[in-house]
Amino acid sequence: MTNIEQNLIELAARYGLSINEQQAKAFQTYMELLLEWNQKMNLTAITELQQVVEKHFLDSLLLLKAVEIPEQAKVIDVGTGAGFPGIPLLLYRPDVRLTLLDSLQKRLNFLQAVCDALGLSAELIHARAEEGGRQPKLRGQFDLACARAVAPLPVLCEYCLPFVRPGGVFAAMKGPGATEESAAAKKAISILGAHAESTRSFALPDGSERNIIICRKTAATSDKYPRHGSKIAKSPL
């Protein structure tokens, strides 16, 4: 077992997450592919091995400590990028039915290569979030939507909540300032048929603050939403 694999196992255990050797080996392969493909295309600015473990892998897995994900849950990772948090979630919980949505085909090509190398089954969809949220096969179909993005919470909610079925959850994975963001997004969350249920706060090993804001869907989202991307950006709910 490599140092990176051992380190991931030990770090995860500190957060109450149990990773076995086989899973750790899969994460190592994922990291190698990420760094290899990153030389050809922009997937991540984080390339130092320990940082990848902490700020990508561990950070993604903290989702499991913030929300209870049912067996066989349908999960969509909106704007997945290099596959965070979706791929780490699937490596830890292979029972979930994962959809990875991204607007760039070349990122999806990378994710397909990762899935092939690791024997993972996920549906890859090339679409902008606001387009995907209007597709009947995606709208209101998921137990959990998640996004690890820098967009303000009202914007993220309009992109992500249309994917969630009533009773399901949107988990927004954010840095510092979650209390203020939740307050600013209260109106948007309500308009979109949900309420802010809870916020779980964590500190990564380097002390970085992470917050996961859980929005529970209580009703179907109005057909008016999501709006066009330019309108969402120009006038957030």
Q: Which residues make Cβ contacts (< 8 Å) with residue 84, sequence separation at least 6? A: 56, 59, 60, 77, 148
The confidence score (pLDDT) of residue 149 equals: 80
- Which CA distances in Å does 175 have to 43, 91, 128, 193? 20, 24, 23, 24
Q: Label residue 1 by pLDDT band (50, 70, 90).
A: confident
Each residue's pLDDT tens digit, 176-227: 999 899 999 999 999 999 999 999 999 999 999 999 999 999 999 999 999 9
Distance in angstroms (rounded) separating the CA atoms of residues 12 and 186:
33
Q: pTM for this one?
A: 0.97
What average pLDDT does range 46-72 have in this prediction? 96
**Residue 35: pLDDT over 90:** yes
Distance in angstroms (rounded) separating the CA atoms of residues 36 and 165:
37
Task: Please state the domain extents for the chain.
Answer: 70-234
Q: List the one residue out of 8, 190, 136, 164 whose CA is nearest residue 77.
A: 164
Torsion angle, alpha carbons of 180, 181, 187, 193, to 10: -140
The confidence score (pLDDT) of residue 227 equals: 96
The confidence score (pLDDT) of residue 37 equals: 98
Each residue's pLDDT tens digit, 111-129: 999 999 999 999 999 999 9
Q: Which residues make Cβ contacts (< 8 Å) with residue 114, sequence separation at least 6? A: 30, 33, 34, 83, 87, 120
The confidence score (pLDDT) of residue 137 equals: 97
Q: What value does the mean pLDDT of the chain take? A: 96
Please confirm whether the linkage preceding 205 is cis (ω < 30° from 0).
Answer: no
Q: At what angle do helices 153-160 and 178-191 cross, to 10 degrees?
A: 40
Each residue's pLDDT tens digit, 141-153: 999 999 998 789 9
- At 227 the three-state DSSP class reads coil
Asked if 71 contacts 95 with a C-beta cutoff of 8 angstroms, the reply is yes
Asked if 204 contacts 54 with a C-beta cutoff of 8 angstroms, the reply is yes
CATH code of domain 70-234: 3.40.50.150
The confidence score (pLDDT) of residue 150 equals: 79
Each residue's pLDDT tens digit, 91-106: 999 999 999 999 999 9
What average pLDDT does range 80-94 have in this prediction? 98
Cβ neighbour number for residue 72 with a 10 Å cutoff: 10
What average pLDDT does range 22-49 have in this prediction? 96
